[in-house]
Amino acid sequence: MTTESAPVSNFLRTIVQEDLKCGKHQTIVTRFPPEPNGYLHIGHAKSICLNFGLAREFGGRCHLRFDDTNPVKEETEYIESIKESVRWLGFSWGAHLYYASDYFEQLYLWAEHLIAQGKAYVDDLTADEIRAHRGTLTEPGTESPYRGRSVEENLDLFRRMRAGEFADGAKVLRARIDMASPNMNLRDPVLYRIIHAPHPHVGDAWCIYPMYDYAHGQSDAIEGITHSICTLEFEDHKPLYEWFLDNLPVPNRPRQYEFARLNLTYAIMSKRKLLQLVKDGDVTGWDDPRMPTIMGIRRRGYTPEAIRNFCETIGVGRSDSWIEMSILEDSVRQDLNERAPRAMAVLRPLKLVIENYPDGQAEEFSIANHPQKPELGSRAVPFCGELFIERDDFMEEPPKGFHRLVPGQEVRLRGACIVKCTGVEKDSEGNVVAVRCTYDPETRSGLPGAERKVKGVVHWVSARHAVRAEVRLYDRLFTEPNPAGDDWKLFLNQASVEVLSDCKLEPSLAQANSEDRFQFERQGYFCADLKESRPGAPVFNRTVTLRDSWIKK
Q: Which are the catalytic amino acids?
A: 35, 261, 271
Cα 422 from Cα 405, distance rounded (Å): 10
Q: Name the helix (H) or strand (E) containing 343.
A: strand 342-343
Q: Reduced to 3 states, what is the DSSP secondary structure of residue 432?
A: strand
Count of C-beta atoms within a 10 Å radius of residue 339:
17
Q: Give which of 237, 301, 293 is closest to 270, Cα–Cα.
A: 293
Cβ neighbours of residue 134 closer than 8 Å, sequence gap 6 or more: 141, 179, 184, 187
Query: Strand pairing of 386-390 and 461-462?
Result: antiparallel
Q: Which amino acid is at 111?
A: A
First vs last Cα of the chain: how many Å apart? 33
Burial class (CB in 10 A: 0-12, 13-18, 19+), 335: buried
Go through the chain and tell me how many residues it has: 553
**Residue 449 dihedral angles phi and psi, to the nearest 5°:** -70, -10
| 419 bridge partner residues | 411, 439
- Report whether 542 contacts 470 (CB < 8 A): no
Distances from the Cα of 79 to the Cαs of 85, 271, 312, 413, 499, in angstroms? 10, 14, 26, 50, 31
Of residues 78, 110, 77, 64, the one with CA closest to residue 210: 110
* Cβ(481)–Cβ(304) below 8 Å: no
Compute CA 553 distance to the chain's CA centroid, rounded to the nearest angstrom: 24
Closest CA to 96 of 16, 28, 31: 31
Contact 529, 371 (CB under 8 A): no
From residue 303, how far is each of 320, 370, 538 by CA, in Å? 26, 18, 19
What are the backbone dihedrals phi and psi of residue 197, each rounded to the nearest 5 degrees, phi first?
Answer: -155, 145
In single-letter form, the type of residue at position 315 comes to G
Burial grade of 344 (CB within 10 A; 0-12, 13-18, 19 or more): buried
